[in-house]
Amino acid sequence: MDLSKKASKISNAWPTKEAMSQVYDLGLWGSSEDVFYSGEGSHRKELVEPYVLEVTSFLRSFAVPQVVCDLGCGDFNIGQQLVAYSKKYWAIDIVPELIEYNKKKFEQKSLEFKCLDIATDTLPKADIIILRQVLQHLSNTEVLKVIEKLKSYGYVILTEHLPNGDFIPNKDIISGQGIRLKKQSGVNLLKSPFNLKILKAKEFLRINLGSNKGEIVTNLYQLS
């Protein structure tokens, strides 16, 4: 069975934890010399550097360093660049082997990794949530569960891969390695069926990938 068929089988039949573990095992997001690789979105210079610059600037804007919770931290290529600007940095992912690997590779006093399912498990207390290209892989049912948890946090920095131009948001998918872009859709937490209530919104970053490949959009939402 080729990788595309294996990926289809995973997306259609496996719970999220097992599906995401297999994404890394099969290298469905690509591969590198490292054991785990979270894809180009976490490594391409033109995507990573502007993002780190914007988020770092926001974190440094507080008089007192904030507690950050990174939901879906992946291989931590991006998160490692943000830890220094937080009081405490929680790095969360659903894949046990990935978390154990990260614990050994990235050791900092204010950094703690935890293996959790962000849709079903209790999340750490924090001031700021980071969700970088995570919800796009989850079904609407799981996204709704995550939203309920977000309501207890002050800020959410949300990054999603969206289609170019107008599109119908939040078409449902089966949780796995695929995203809504294949359905000419993308996650918008402010639209139905999610309808996240916020105080303020600010667009941090919008990077067009060209050739109808969509765009990577990062928004800051203030919740309380």
Ranges of the chain with pLDDT below 70: 1-15, 21-34, 177
Q: Is position 19 within any domain?
A: no
Q: Is position 32 within any domain?
A: no
Q: Which residue, chain included where needed, has tokens 């977000």?
A: 150
H helix or E strand, kind and range, residue 194: none
Give the model's pLDDT for residue 154.
98
Give the model's pLDDT for residue 211.
83
Q: What is the CATH number of the domain that holds 56?
A: 3.40.50.150
**Which residues constitute the domain of residue 172?**
39-222
89-146: per-residue pLDDT in tens?
999 999 999 999 999 999 999 999 999 999 999 999 999 999 999 999 999 999 999 9
Q: Is position 33 within any domain?
A: no
Q: What is the pTM of this model?
A: 0.88
Task: Spell out the residues 6+ positions from residue 112 whose beta carbon is closer than 8 angstroms to its own.
Answer: 88, 89, 90, 91
Q: Is position 174 within any domain?
A: yes
Q: Is position 16 within any domain?
A: no
For the record, the structure tokens of 161 come out as 């891969």
Q: Is position 97 within any domain?
A: yes
Which CA distances in Å does 152 have to 103, 137, 199? 27, 23, 13
Give the model's pLDDT for residue 178.
83
Q: Is position 28 within any domain?
A: no
Q: Is position 10 within any domain?
A: no
Give the model's pLDDT for residue 190.
97
How many domains would you assign to the chain?
1
